[in-house]
Structure 1
Amino acid sequence: MACYRKKPVEIEAVQLCWTQWNEVCELLGDALTAENPDGAFEIPAEEVSDTCGEEGPNYIGLYVRTVHGEIAIVRHGDWIVPEKQPGRFYPVKPDVFAPPTRR
């Protein structure tokens, strides 16, 4: 079977974790208060996508609105990527940004 490589694309993104919280707030801007009036919420360790090297027991969960108007959950360790439409984002699992493995 043939193998194909997808052309790399540069995007703006920030990983949801405590050490990046200021950057998360900056990226979300007004959407943080409009879409998340209660801000972030705690999630248990078994629900995180990646601990980001941070020791629990407190990990972050967050809701964002997607370009389709749906609400998506961003879990600690997920990356938040802004859409072209203002106030719209989507979560990306951390393995998408992991370096490729050699075969």
Structure 2
Amino acid sequence: MLAPKVALGAEFVDRCVGLAKLSAAINGQDGKLIEITPDQWRFLRGVYAMNPEAPSGLPHGDSAVLAQDRGDLDGLLFFVDGDKSCAPVHAPPTLLSLMEQVR
């Protein structure tokens, strides 16, 4: 789930959806998508794999994006597989702070 201000439809929760559709939904809520660096992506794959609430294994894709509402301290991470956004993961401020240390 995303920050309290950002609400995404059920189509984003348990499956992959088009990145353009995700981008439109976020932009429609005055939010933004931030591309994650390759090193941050590798770090996040490990975080995902250790998350007891995530499905076992590694997430799909070869990159990730962070969706954030203007002014929110947390966000929602999506792993990107081609033109699809998959496996949304809540990103609290503590995780985002750790990500900032990984460039």
TM-score range, shorter chain: 0.3 to 0.5
Higher relative contact order (CA 8 A, sep 6+): 2
Indicate the structure (1 or 2) with the bigger Cα radius of gyration.
Answer: 1
Bigger fraction of residues in helix:
2
TM-score calculated relative to the size of structure 1: 0.38
